Amino acid sequence: MDKKRMRRKNLLYRLRKKGVRVDTGGRCIYLPYGSEPDHIAQVRRLRKEYDFVVQFEIV
C-alpha cells in the first residue's frame, strides 16, 4: 500500500477509537452537535488532505 492510503487508514482508526462515527464512502464525519471539529487533529487532517466533510448530529 502506498503511504497516503496508510496515513488515511491510520487517521480513521484513531478517530474511530475516540468514538467518532465516520462514513468513508461518503467521506463524512459525524460529530455531536455543538462540538468543535477543529479541536480534533484527525478531523482537521481528514478535512484538509482528503476532502472529508463534517455532519453534526443531535444526540
pLDDT tens, the chain, 59 aa long = 699 999 999 999 999 999 999 999 999 999 999 999 999 999 999 999 999 999 999 98
DSSP symbols for 1-59: --HHHHHHHHHHHHHHHTT-EEETTTTEEEEETT--GGGSHHHHHHHHHH--EEEEE--
Output the pLDDT for position 59. 83
**pTM of the predicted protein model:** 0.90
